[in-house]
Structure 1
Amino acid sequence: MRSLLKKFILTYPFIYSIIFMANAQDYQISLLTCDPGDQLYSAFGHSAIRVLDKENNQDIVFNYGTFDFNTPFFYVKFTQRTLDYMLSVSTYERFLYEYNYFNRNVREQVLDLNPEQARQLVQFLQVNYLPENRFYRYDFFYDNCATRIRDVFETILGKNLDWNEEPSPEQKTFRNLIDEYVYPLPWADFGIDLALGAVIDVDAKEREKQFLPDYMEAAFARAQIVGDGPTRPLVKSNHVVLEFPERTSQMDFFNPYVMWWLFAIGTIILTFFGFKKKRLFKGFDIAFFTVLGLLGLLIVLLWFFTFHSQTKSNWNILWAFPGHLVLAFALIRESIKPWVKKYLLFALVLANVALVFWIFGVQSLHPSIIPLILVILLRTNFLYYNWERFKPLPKA
């Protein structure tokens, strides 16, 4: 009973404020845009809607970017894209507390809505916050905390909203847009490029760029309200709510660019030493192709066994191929089977095709995989031509 009472007390101010707003008329509606944070989950920034009820001094933030960590099988659902995000409500003061704590800038765009438009927007958010409506199936590109807000305003304003898009905007693919934000996180950048397929290597339309809060902020700044009296800008005024000194990001030495090239150089030295000593060092190949095979399995799982649309047509599978696991097991044996040499040739061809796909723009691959592909080419060649000439290492 106490826990229920405590939960009600914590929730009560939000419920009270939302109900009280139903009868209010003097609303100030704002778009809040928050700068990216240092972690991957916050690397792309955030957007929220602020509703200030001037008559009753209620200041509420509607936030489409929240989820419940206590959801059963949370990480499984997150990986499969079966995790539901939800609309949450907090006070403006509480919303800013987190961004102040993490030193993240927050900007506000006060919107020039007429009283009826503001009232309809608040009513829409109230209905959307009902328990049966507040959850939605999150999609990073097409249905996230930013696009939900865009869709709300398109629903309320309808034909009165003119995005006033630039006639000749800079062409950027979805991958280009992501790279702008994850560049300071090189391992995250590598992981994203490994997991996402060729479907994101298409140019994003201006409206589609609004999945990123910064781009939506810029779109709101250009937008106009038409057919409702004289044409006027959607944004009436801009305010910097929180501002902190600019943080300089320095790439750590331990990053995929450096590490994979060091790995490739070490492999070249190992192969040269093996050639001179007439040794295969196949233990290295067993470990290497096992890792590649496991990465290939991950790509297959993301491609065929999840609901993520962005992980389809992922041609990283040409170099990180799940069949490499079979090769690794075959290399454990002292005597080579005839099909193993054929598979080595097949793996070599796949790696070359991956480079061709990259060069001709079928899919943009992460630059740091060049040394990994070179290692595949080197070791498959070395094993193919020298297996019968060099005596394999004896088992320990």
Structure 2
Amino acid sequence: MNFKKTIVSFIFLLIVSGLGALKAQQYQISLLTCDPGEEIYSSFGHSGIRVIELTTGRDVVYNYGTFDFGAPNFVLNFAGGRLDYYLSVSTFDRFIAEYDYFQRSVREQVLSLNEQQKLDLIRFLETNYLPENRAYRYDFFFDNCATRVRDAISTVLGDQLIWHDEVREPVESTFRELIDEMVYYMTWSDLGIDLALGSRLDRDATPLEEQFLPKYVEGAFSRAEIQGDGPTRPLVEKSSVILNFEKPEGSFGAINPYWIFWVIAFVFTGITFIGFKKKKLFVGFDIAFFGILGIVGLVMTLLWIGSEIPSTKYNWNILWAFPGHLVLAIVLLRKTIKPWVLKYLLFALIMADAAVVFWILGWQSFHPSLIPLLLVLILRTNYLYYNVGKFKQVEK
């Protein structure tokens, strides 16, 4: 009798455990990592969460990187740090079709979550997808499509998730260097980013902070483990490539700031030499040069003061692209100048020299293409300071 009871109990346990395993296999959840695209908004890659309901075949992607180009005041809200992104859900086929069209590679990491963890994650995503929850205030470095995916997994797993960042390649990079990795060959975009964002980018990012870039989330997932709910196991059960396209070779392009700014530097050096020989100012060049610098400085000032993006603060590019240069350009149009113009030229020269010092000391890294412009600024402020009074009447 005891033997029969044992056999019945054993069979019952097998059935229960089999049903539990079947239920656990109702969902497959994975991280999708998409390679960068050719447009600036897609140049950093993308992350999404794929959920397959195995019993019904429902296959969807939860995407935290959705935004509306047609939203009112899109550019102003983006620059001012007041742009909302939102969570969207699309079919996997529709999601992958876009990356196939633009020939962007996509990789998948299937997560080794248990039954309850899968259900908790789906519940978390569905709660986030509610109309009142799906929008969030976008922050490029600390709250974006990649960090939201990472934080969803972290929230669900809690202390059971071990990142193992100590085994990653021990290379420290600043936020600016991490951005440069992605936009190095997009020279004008790279220049614009360096002009708009200040010295806060020039500190080393922690392993967790690196994960604002999808490729670092992918790397972190590949190292991570789950513990505390049985034998310790890798977070990623298996990896595969869904789309694979050969990356084009990087190129600066024919029109880039590196050679253009050096041409400008040679032109200004030439006109300064000729002006010195022929006793002329050629002030028209200075009006254009200082006018452009003043406009750039005005934009940076507005970003510093008016934007809610912390990274636009403490931007020491303003030392050389100062808004006051716009006033100087206007004043140089006149035949007479006021005494303060000479003092301002000396001030501009000191500011340009200070920018070089800030760069050398590592207080802020400027875009490398700016070297010739800084040389022009130092050259022309010097030349005008000592010579403008000889060609224009200084008012008493």
TM-score (norm 2): 0.91
In structure 2, distance between residues paired with 1:240 and 1:229: 29
Amino acid at match of 1:175: R
Q: Deviations over 1:177-210 (max 9, x none)?
A: 0000000101111111111100010000001111
Show the counterpart of 1:133.
133
* Structure 1 residue 326: Cα displacement: 1.4
Name the amino acid aligned to 2:51: V
Instruction: Judge conservation of contact 1:141–1:211 (CA < 8 Å) in 2.
Output: yes
Q: Which amino acid aligns with 1:90?
A: S
Shift, 1:48, TM fit: 0.2
1:328 alignment counterpart: 329
Distance 2:75 2:252 in 1: 29
Q: How does 1:224-239 map to 2 (within 5 A)?
A: 224-239=225-240
Q: CA deviation at 1:325?
A: 1.2
Aligned residue number for residue 95 of structure 1: 95
Q: Is the 8 A contact 1:50 1:62 kept in 2?
A: yes
Number of the residue aligned with 2:191: 190
Equivalent-residue separation in structure 2 for 1:388 and 1:348 (angstroms): 17
**Match status 1:166 vs 2:182:** no
Q: Which residue is 1:12 aligned to?
A: none
Matched with 1:105 is: 105
Q: What is the rounded CA distance, in whole Å, between the counterparts of 2:60 and 2:102 in structure 1? A: 21
Q: Does 1:277 align with 2:268?
A: no
Larger Rg computed on CA atoms:
2
Q: Secondary structure in 2 aligned to 1:270?
A: helix
- Counterpart contact for 2:49–2:149, Cα < 8 Å: yes
- Which residue of structure 1 aligns with residue 143 of structure 2? 143
Measure, in 1, the Cα distance between the counterparts of 2:319 and 2:392: 30
Q: CA deviation at 1:388?
A: 2.7
Q: C-alpha distance in 1, partners of 2:339/2:391?
A: 16
Aligned to 1:354: 355
Deviation at 1:243, TM superposition (A): 0.5
Please name the residue that 1:120 is paired with: 120
Cα distance, 1:379 vs structure 2:
0.7
Q: Does 1:287 align with 2:300?
A: no
Structure 2: 5+ residue stretches without partners: 1-22
Q: Report the Cα offset of residue 279 of structure 1.
A: 1.0
The yes-or-no answer on 1:152 pairing with 2:148 is: no
CA RMSD between the two structures: 1.4
Q: 2 CA distance for matches of 1:164 and 1:228?
A: 18
Count residues with an aligned counterpart.
370
* Aligned residues of 2:336 and 2:392 also touching (Cα < 8 A): no
Structure 1 distance, partners of 2:361, 2:74, is 39
Which digits, 9 at most, give the CA deviation of each residue in 1:64-108, with x for residues without a partner?
A: 000122322222111111110000000000000000000000000
Looking at structure 1, the residues matched to 70 and 259 of structure 2 have their Cα atoms a distance apart, in angstroms, of 38
Partners of 2:388 and 2:326 in 1: CA distance: 19
Alignment-mate amino acid for residue 78 of structure 1: F
Mapped partners of 2:260, 2:287: distance in 1? 20
**CA contact under 8 A between 1:37 and 1:45: conserved in structure 2?**
yes
2:67 alignment counterpart: 67
Quote how far apart the aligned CAs of 1:321 are: 0.2
2:243 is matched with which residue?
Answer: 242
Partner of 2:364: 363
Which 10-residue stretch deviates more, 167-176 or 218-227?
167-176
Residue segments in structure 1 that go unaligned for 5+ positions in a row:
1-22
Query: Kindly, what percent of the aligned residue pairs are identical?
Result: 59
Q: Give the conservation status (yes or no) of the 8 Å contact 1:60–1:92.
A: yes
Distance 2:218 2:127 in 1: 25
Distance 1:77 1:388 in 2: 45
Instruction: Please report how far the alpha carbon of residue 390 of structure 1 lies from its aligned counterpart in structure 2 after TM superposition.
Output: 3.7
The answer to whether the 8 Å contact 1:105/1:242 transfers is yes
Would you identify which runs of 4 or more consecutive aligned residues in structure 1 move more than 4 Å? none
| Residue number in structure 1 paired with 2:29 | 29
Map of 1:16 onto structure 2: none
Contact 2:337–2:392 under 8 Å retained in 1: no
Q: What is the aligned partner in structure 2 of residue 296 from structure 1?
A: 297
Match of 2:9 in 1: none
2:24 and 2:160 mapped to 1: Cα distance?
24
Q: Which residue is equivalent to 1:222?
A: 223
Cα distance, 1:391 vs. partner?
A: 6.1
> Whole-Å Cα distance in 2 between the matches of residues 74 and 374 of structure 1?
36
Cα deviation, residue 24, structure 1:
9.4
Report the Cα distance in structure 1 between the residues aligned to 2:165 and 2:384, rounded to whole angstroms: 57
Letter in 2 for 1:98: E
- Please say if residues 48 and 64 of structure 1, whose CA atoms lie closer than 8 Å, have aligned partners that are also in contact: yes
Give the 3-state SS of the residue equivalent to 1:59 in structure 2.
strand
Counterpart AA for 2:341: V
Whether the 8 Å CA contact 1:165–1:206 is kept in 2: the answer is yes
Query: Are the aligned partners of 2:24 and 2:115 in contact in 1 as well (CA < 8 Å)?
Result: no
Contact 2:35/2:46 (8 A) holds in 1: yes
Rounded to whole Å, the distance in 2 between the matches of 1:36 and 1:325 is 38
TM-score (norm 1): 0.91
Tell me, yes or no, if the aligned pair for 1:315 and 1:354 is still in contact at 8 Å: yes
